Amino acid sequence: MAVEIVTVPDLGGAETVDVIELSIAQGDAVALEDSLLVLESDKATMDVPSPFAGTLVKFLVADGDTVKVGDPIAEIEVAGQQAESSAEPAKAAAAVIEEQPEPVKQPEAATVSAEQAGGLAEQLILVPDIGSEDQIDVIEISVAIGDQVEEGDTLLVLESDKATMDVPSSHSGTVIKIIAAEGDKLTTGSEVAVLQVSQTSPNAEPAPVAEVQAPQAVVEPTAQPAIAPQAPAPVQTIVDAAAPNESGEVYAGPAVRMLARELGVDLSQVSGTGPRGRVQKDDVNLYVKSALRAAPAAATGSGIPLVPAVDFSQYGEIESIPMSKIQKLTAANMQRNWLNVPHVTHFDDADITDLEDFRKSLADEGAKRGIKVTPVAFLIKALAAAMQSNPIFNRSLAADGEHFIQKHYCNIGMAVDTPRGLVVPVIKDADEKGIWDISADIAALAASARDGKLKPADMQGGCFTLSSLGAIGGKGFTPIVNSPEVGILGVSKSQMQPLWNGQEFVPRLMLPLCLSYDHRVVNGGDAGRFMTQLVKSLSDIRHLAL
Ligand code: CAO
């Protein structure tokens, strides 16, 4: 074991720089080229990558220190090396840098571990010349262990603040090890992956340099010989950190800019807590957390102000009653439909005097059949007929907002009031059924609904919904469309009313009908025609036989 001292490398002209970030902690394992700390000059930030693999014994500088070239900055315990006496750390460090063996692979590194194994060899793949010495973030690993790759296939993607770069494979083979990881910083010659290649593979020549997918400038691939990485340049200028982005004078490094992009954060809105207001990752995270906390207080996802929570107990005794699953679903569906569908409700009354006489006349027959015929059966029958004549009511708006879906079947949902909440079983093929069959379906489905025995299939496939409150009361209401259906008929309580027949007022049983429709699909004229037909057939049910 030996303790090596890392010193401040060439600063590219700057005399002194500030230590603005210690990237790792004492005792951390350090791989070759791992960033140890970040220095900052007036113009740029610089990562100091480790020239050794080992364990960080300690930093010799602290956050905020000012340092110059050659100053000792860290001690790293390197495995498998003899200790060297170093009375003067700075000099010793310099010696270490000069004398250390090449820490990365030599030119033949591209085939370094080409151990023969039945005609197969291991091939180390390196980052080819990327045209700069910048350390660039790995934003995507494009392959997985076991993948078969061809020469030129992308292995990973690098992203600087100006461009993304695909790093292609210089060989064809099977990926057996991925060395780089997302978030790593790589530069020319960095190790990417190990492939198992055929020894007879002719592609000893390496892949061309990555194509730079910069928005404006595409750097043409350059044929390169096998990368012969040098000992890692200990300092790489990352970015002109003082350069403002489009949104203003933002002082942040590339990793922070990438994080902000990923999270959709406008960096100009983030307060930097680093030296000279530099925005750090923690600042971005904190900004996002605060934004998320603030959002619910101001609005829901639709930007609709929330109803403020009220502590009702301050006004009297209360109890909290858990909602059933059906009640929660109904609440969500009603809100969704109410917010999404432009509703219009059209009102009319049907004279059901004759219908009721006829219905009552069926009582004996119904008793024999064990079927009770209620007004709802006639309503469903009349609705099915009106949908046949007005097929626009049997449409839905396609999800793309550019098509109508015309249904050629006619299933009618029926709202059922149950102790657990509102459910809507569906009477299938209502257009093909007679009053007896519809009545039987209504009774069976209403019973299943109240007993909680409806199956999912019983509630699926509806084209239109009937909500009958006639047995309960009311003069009219505005039902909410059960989207993606486009219409719903609300029925209130029938009442005897004086009706002018042209000569005199006569008592007639009038049934209030309320047709709500989705005005994206149905126009007022469509609704008027639909309702008129409905009123006509309920007023004279002989029309239902036509
Ligand atoms: N006007 C006056 N009386 C009416 C009527 C009307 N529009 N509709 C039904 N009635 C009468 C029936 O004639 C029946 O009386 P009789 O027993 O004397 O013949 C009685 O009311 C019961 O009828 P019903 O409406 O319950 O008949 P049904 O079994 O065919 O109804 C169902 C089934 C499921 C529609 C009904 O039970 C129900 O749950 N309705 C509530 C629907 C609802 O909650 N809608 C609101 C949804 S939005 O919140």
Where is the domain boundary, 212, 230, 247? 212
Where is the domain boundary, 98, 119, 154? 98
Beta-strand ranges (E) seen in 216-300 are 218-219, 236-239
Domain assignment present for 537: yes
Q: Is residue 68 domain-shared with residue 143, that is, in the same domain?
A: no
Query: Whole-angstrom Cα distance, residue 484 to residue 26?
Result: 61
- Ligand 1: which of 335, 351, 376 to mutate, judged by most atoms within 8 Å of the beta carbon? 376
Q: What is the pLDDT of residue 25?
A: 87
Q: Is residue 470 domain-shared with residue 345, that is, in the same domain?
A: yes
- Give me the tens of pLDDT residue by residue for the chain, a chain 546 residues long: 788 899 988 877 778 888 888 888 888 888 888 889 888 776 667 788 888 889 999 999 988 888 988 899 999 998 765 434 333 333 333 333 333 333 333 333 344 343 444 578 889 999 888 777 778 888 888 888 888 998 888 898 887 766 667 788 889 999 999 999 888 889 888 999 999 988 754 444 443 333 333 322 222 233 332 222 333 332 232 333 333 333 446 777 666 777 888 888 888 888 887 756 777 888 888 888 877 766 554 445 567 888 888 999 999 999 999 988 889 999 999 999 999 999 999 999 999 999 999 999 999 999 999 999 999 999 999 999 999 999 999 999 998 889 999 999 999 999 999 988 999 999 999 999 999 999 999 999 999 999 999 998 999 999 999 999 999 999 999 999 999 999 999 999 999 999 999 999 999 999 999 999 999 999 999 999 999 999 999 999 998 887
- 530 CA to centre of ligand 1 in angstroms: 22
Beta-strand ranges (E) seen in 9-128 are 16-22, 29-30, 35-40, 45-49, 54-59, 66-68, 72-78, 120-126
> Which residue in 204, 181, 185 sits closest to 193, CA to CA?
181
Query: Whole-angstrom Cα distance, residue 209 to residue 196?
Result: 21
Active site residue 519: yes
Query: Whole-angstrom Cα distance, residue 125 to residue 170?
Result: 7
Query: Whole-angstrom Cα distance, residue 488 to residue 379?
Result: 12
Q: What is the CATH number of the domain that holds 164?
A: 2.40.50.100
What's the Cα-to-Cα distance from 425 to each of 1, 354, 417, 438, 449, rounded to whole Å?
A: 77, 29, 11, 13, 7
Domain assignment present for 499: yes
Enter the DSSP assignment of 268: G
Q: Is residue 443 domain-shared with residue 524, that is, in the same domain?
A: yes
Q: Whole domain around residue 34: which residue ranges?
A: 2-98
| Preceding amide of 229 cis, omega within 30 | no
Query: Whole-angstrom Cα distance, residue 515 to residue 479?
Result: 8
Q: Is residue 337 domain-shared with residue 198, that is, in the same domain?
A: no
Q: Is residue 379 domain-shared with residue 481, that is, in the same domain?
A: yes
Q: Is residue 190 domain-shared with residue 129, that is, in the same domain?
A: yes
Q: Is residue 53 domain-shared with residue 119, that is, in the same domain?
A: no
3-state secondary structure of 519: coil
Domain assignment present for 468: yes
Q: Is residue 71 domain-shared with residue 200, that is, in the same domain?
A: no
Which one-letter amino acid corresponds to residue 484?
Answer: P
Domain assignment present for 300: no
Q: Is residue 89 domain-shared with residue 171, that is, in the same domain?
A: no
pTM beyond 0.75, yes or no? no
**CA-449 nearest atom, ligand 1:** 34
Domain assignment present for 479: yes
**CA-493 nearest atom, ligand 1:** 1
Domain assignment present for 86: yes
Q: Is residue 477 domain-shared with residue 357, that is, in the same domain?
A: yes
Asked if residue 442 has its Cβ within 6 Å of ligand 1, the reply is: yes
Domain assignment present for 311: no
Q: Is residue 79 domain-shared with residue 123, that is, in the same domain?
A: no
3-state secondary structure of 444: helix
Where is the domain boundary, 75, 98, 121? 98
Q: How many domains does the chain have?
A: 3
Asked if residue 371 has its Cβ within 6 Å of ligand 1, the reply is: no
Q: What is the pLDDT of residue 222?
A: 30
Domain assignment present for 206: yes
Cβ–Cβ < 8 Å for 10, 235: yes
Asked if residue 373 has its Cβ within 6 Å of ligand 1, the reply is: no
Q: What is the CATH number of the domain that holds 510?
A: 3.30.559.10
3-state secondary structure of 263: helix
Q: Is residue 179 domain-shared with residue 86, that is, in the same domain?
A: no
Nearest alpha carbon, ligand 1 atom 20: 471
Q: What is the pLDDT of residue 499?
A: 96
Q: Where are the alpha helices (DSSP H) in 116-199?
A: none
